[in-house]
Structure 1
């Protein structure tokens, strides 16, 4: 049996027995999109397939540095960090090529924890789509920098003077990809084996930066693929004494790293509902309202997409990243890029997203806001033509300029609470407020250089 054939708990048992595994790898994705997991014995795994298993809910109550939130109500010292129930999702079964016959299964939080579970919030949005008569296809594409460094060396260097895998600006370089063909081959092979195949892989503009476009699929599967891609690209690099970063912007000297999301809808019988050849740019009414909803809610939902303090260093004019909630047809200076084409290829690209996204949460925002637009028949502004940075946009389209501002907007958003649930909005906004507060405590190199002597 192949991992792709696993659909049920019985299938999961069969493939584990067929491979003679004593343990399997099980993981969940936390609020920041970081995979947390463990090896589980076969006996316990078989039991978990039927009854679920407990996972300490601290993984929903701490940040990316394992520091405990002091402002969330779901969990904390006041609840004593009990186990939260997790259900195994058999159809997420993947091979782990660098570990022999090892298998990986994803889990998702259940019962009360489901309200704040990243995978759970996307499932709720997709159920909303299904109730409206739509299925959703999606795909992510990520830019990431590679370094000739190790986890130890970057710390010894204090993250300064790092050696990029390759030097200079060299986008779409056949020279670079051929010289380092072994890594490209290994990554392509890994992605095929783990059911997150790539449509494209090439160098981007920057020292050691690559861009990978993951093949589109049903939206929940697309989020699984995106989250696994980020995790196992880093694993692959480190196993080869390299490091990959998916920060939104790791250096003032280089462009930021995108994590663009492509989304389209289908209706009954698999009909592509975004495409209407009788309309400008083939945009159906449904697609226009979808874009209208995305544009209208983007300032309120930005914390779900630009989710780190670092995200906002990328959202500046002239660096291929938007500063306002704008849209245009084949316009890469806008936050939303409508891509006209055939019924199969017509889609919207959610370009405000960076590589640091939690794919589940970001896709929930991108899809949920579009569905809200369809429900309320929200008309978008006129499409931007030409340089979107040079156009003065209404104040209501201005995106928050910091994570703290974005978190405050999300916490107050009535549409967000209707789309994602009040518990999720409170929890996620609180975690982003914590993240911004942690940043304000830091004394940066910039502050030292600016104030140490002169002030």
Structure 2
């Protein structure tokens, strides 16, 4: 059996037993979009397919660097970090081509932890859409820098004077992609083997920066593809003595790295619902309300999309990233870009997202806000024509400028609480406040250069 055909518990068991595997790789995704996992003995894995498995709930009690949150009610020393119950989704089965016949599966949390589990959160938003008779298609595209470095050398160099895969600013370069064709083609081969189909791969503007556009599919599977791409592309690169970064902005010398999301809706019969010929931008009422909801809630949900301190270094004028909740038709200076087309290609591009997104949370925010807009028939502003950066926008459309400000907006959002629940909103906002406080403890190179001698 091909791993792509695994849909049920019986399918997964048959494939593991048929390959005679001693162990299987199993992962869950934390609030920062990091896959945490382990090798699990095949007998234990097969039992877990039916009855679930246990995973320490510390994954909701620490940050991306394994540092414990200081104000966490969900888990901590006070609760003794118990196990949480999780279950395996057989349909996430992937081959791991770097490890012979090894298989990988994603799990998601049940019980109390389900309220915080990013994958379960997105599943609830998908279920909300289904209750409205709608199904979402989503695609992610990521920009990422590639370096001739290793995890050891970047630390030895203190992340300075890094050697990029290629030099110079050379977007859409046929020269660079042809010279580095072994690198490009082996990445495409890896993604094909792991059922992460890449529709386009090209160089972007900057030394050693690439952009990969992942083929669209239903929302939950699209987030799976995105999180697997970010992890296993890095695995593949490091095994070749190279490194990738998906930071929102790793250097002041270059533009930030996007993680744009493309979204569309169809009804339960498969008919697209965003397209209506003869209307401005071919936008149906449904699409207009969807964009209206996204625009209205973008400032309130930004912490779920721009989830790191570094995210806000990208959201500055003139660097291909929005600073206000704006929208336009085929306008790349806006946060939301409506892309007119045929009924099947009509979609909205959620351009505020960077490469550092947790795909589950970002898709949940982008889709959930649009559904909220449809439910409440939210009208968007007039579409922006021309350069949105050069225009003055209402204060209500301004995006938070820091992660802490964004977390405060999330806490105060009644729509966020309706869409995602009080437990998630309060816990997640706490984690973002922690992230900002940790950053404030650091002394930056900029501060040293500016103040060391002169003040």
Is 1:422 the counterpart of 2:395? The answer is no
For 1:287 and 1:401, locate their aligned partners in 2 and report how far apart those are by CA, in whole Å: 28
Aligned partner of 2:311 in structure 1 is 311
- State the SS of the aligned residue for 2:333: coil
Aligned partner of 1:236 in structure 2 is 236
For 1:361 and 1:376, locate their aligned partners in 2 and report how far apart those are by CA, in whole Å: 22
Is 1:136 the counterpart of 2:136? The answer is yes
Q: How does 1:149-160 map to 2 (within 5 A)?
A: 149-160=149-160
- State the SS of the aligned residue for 2:104: strand
Is 1:53 the counterpart of 2:60? The answer is no
- State the SS of the aligned residue for 2:269: helix
For 1:174 and 1:72, locate their aligned partners in 2 and report how far apart those are by CA, in whole Å: 50
For 1:414 and 1:79, locate their aligned partners in 2 and report how far apart those are by CA, in whole Å: 29
Shift of 1:234: 0.4
Is 1:350 the counterpart of 2:378? The answer is no
Aligned partner of 1:274 in structure 2 is 274
Cα root mean square deviation, aligned: 0.6
Is 1:16 the counterpart of 2:45? The answer is no
Aligned partner of 2:222 in structure 1 is 222
1:93-120 deviation per Cα after TM superposition (whole angstroms, max 9, x unaligned): 0000010000000000111100000001
Aligned partner of 1:147 in structure 2 is 147
Q: How does 1:137-286 map to 2 (within 5 A)?
A: 137-286=137-286
Aligned partner of 1:407 in structure 2 is 407
Aligned partner of 2:297 in structure 1 is 297
Aligned partner of 2:36 in structure 1 is 36
Aligned partner of 2:380 in structure 1 is 380
1:242-274 deviation per Cα after TM superposition (whole angstroms, max 9, x unaligned): 000000000000110000000000013111000
For 2:323 and 2:32, locate their aligned partners in 1 and report how far apart those are by CA, in whole Å: 23
Q: How does 1:111-122 map to 2 (within 5 A)?
A: 111-122=111-122
For 2:325 and 2:66, locate their aligned partners in 1 and report how far apart those are by CA, in whole Å: 33
For 1:73 and 1:218, locate their aligned partners in 2 and report how far apart those are by CA, in whole Å: 34
- State the SS of the aligned residue for 1:290: helix
Aligned partner of 1:65 in structure 2 is 65
For 1:119 and 1:6, locate their aligned partners in 2 and report how far apart those are by CA, in whole Å: 19
Shift of 1:278: 2.8
- State the SS of the aligned residue for 2:84: strand
Shift of 1:69: 0.7
1:354-395 deviation per Cα after TM superposition (whole angstroms, max 9, x unaligned): 000000000000000000000110000000001000111000
1:105-137 deviation per Cα after TM superposition (whole angstroms, max 9, x unaligned): 000011110000000110010100000110010
For 2:49 and 2:125, locate their aligned partners in 1 and report how far apart those are by CA, in whole Å: 25
For 1:300 and 1:279, locate their aligned partners in 2 and report how far apart those are by CA, in whole Å: 29
- State the SS of the aligned residue for 1:269: coil
For 1:262 and 1:216, locate their aligned partners in 2 and report how far apart those are by CA, in whole Å: 8
Shift of 1:72: 2.2
For 2:172 and 2:327, locate their aligned partners in 1 and report how far apart those are by CA, in whole Å: 26
Gaps of 5+ in 2: none
For 1:388 and 1:214, locate their aligned partners in 2 and report how far apart those are by CA, in whole Å: 27
Count of matched residue positions in the alignment of Structure 1 and Structure 2: 455
For 1:18 and 1:50, locate their aligned partners in 2 and report how far apart those are by CA, in whole Å: 18
- State the SS of the aligned residue for 1:142: strand
For 1:71 and 1:341, locate their aligned partners in 2 and report how far apart those are by CA, in whole Å: 48
Shift of 1:49: 0.5
Shift of 1:79: 1.1
For 1:247 and 1:174, locate their aligned partners in 2 and report how far apart those are by CA, in whole Å: 25
Shift of 1:448: 1.1
Normalising by structure 2, we get a TM-score of 0.99
For 1:28 and 1:213, locate their aligned partners in 2 and report how far apart those are by CA, in whole Å: 24
For 1:281 and 1:321, locate their aligned partners in 2 and report how far apart those are by CA, in whole Å: 22
For 1:58 and 1:251, locate their aligned partners in 2 and report how far apart those are by CA, in whole Å: 32
Is 1:454 the counterpart of 2:418? The answer is no
1:193-245 deviation per Cα after TM superposition (whole angstroms, max 9, x unaligned): 11110000000000000000000000000000000000011001100000000
Aligned partner of 2:439 in structure 1 is 439
Aligned partner of 1:25 in structure 2 is 25
Gaps of 5+ in 1: none
Shift of 1:78: 1.5
For 2:28 and 2:58, locate their aligned partners in 1 and report how far apart those are by CA, in whole Å: 12
Shift of 1:71: 1.6
Deviating above 6 A after TM superposition, structure 1's stretches of 4 or more consecutive aligned residues are none
